[in-house]
Amino acid sequence: MATLFLLIRFMMNVVFLHGFCEHKSMWTDTMHALGDNWKLHAFDMCGFGTNGNTAETMRDYASDVFAQMDEAHIEKAIVLGHSMGGYVALEMLSTNPDRILGLGLIHSNAAADDDARKQARQKQIEFLQKHPTRPFLKPFSEQLLGRSNRNSLLTDRTWELVKDAQAPAIINALKAMMVRNDHRDLIRHTNKPILWLLGVEDEFISLDMVLHQVSNTNAAKLRILDDAGHLGTWESPEQTVDTIASYIRWVLS
């Protein structure tokens, strides 16, 4: 039995998805710290990093990730998504649940945009259609961090993470997030184990709203990071790694 467990453990695939305007390198430190107990994969999503494909809806992004899984010979996996990556992971669960062993919503949530958020995204699109990306990306990179971390070396790192995002990809992602499906019923009815990792200082994701979603999840593991904003992978790296490792072991159990 122990040998079988170890075999399953080493065969476990975990796919990491980055967030809006980011790329897969955001997961490098996390994956290194997790070690070689599992088969870890990080993918660039459409338009970001080295991925030159185009997507207009969350289903397009999800299909592209499944295609990358196919290329890597990954039949099933735990999928962990940061922010927008969480929206893509939810769409993957919705469209092809048999390939999803578990889901991680890392500073993300299952609700669709409300009217106020849609209006804000539309203004961002209009801004990007008229101006260079830097005036948009620079404050965004700082806002990824909690206020207590904005005067640290992480500020430079977050800028490096997002500075090369191109306007067409940013606009496509904004449009896709505006019209994405509401997946609160999905998480309410699925029996897939879901990891929720949240930051107290997160200015993009409402803690109260997500905690309500967590309470309606059948199988949930929750970790709240006290000293993190929207990028707990970098702001609270040890806690994030411990939480993800514990979650993977839980899925295996």
Q: How confident is the model at residue 5 (pLDDT cuts 50, 70, 90)?
A: very low
- Number of domains within the chain: 1
What is the rounded average pLDDT of the residues 77-91?
A: 98
What is the rounded average pLDDT for all residues in the chain?
95
Q: Range of 43's domain? A: 2-252
pLDDT at 10: 52
Q: CA angle 71-72-77, nearest 5°? A: 120
Give residue 133's pLDDT.
98
Q: What is the pLDDT of residue 4?
A: 38
What is the CATH number for 226? 3.40.50.1820
d(CA 248, CA 38): 9
pLDDT at residue number 240: 98
- Determine the Cα–Cα distance for residues 231 and 143; give it in Å rounded to an integer: 9
Q: pLDDT tens digits for 35-44? A: 999 999 999 9
DSSP 78: E
Given a cut of 90, is residue 11 above it in pLDDT?
no
Contacts of 72 (CB under 8 A, 6+ apart): 41
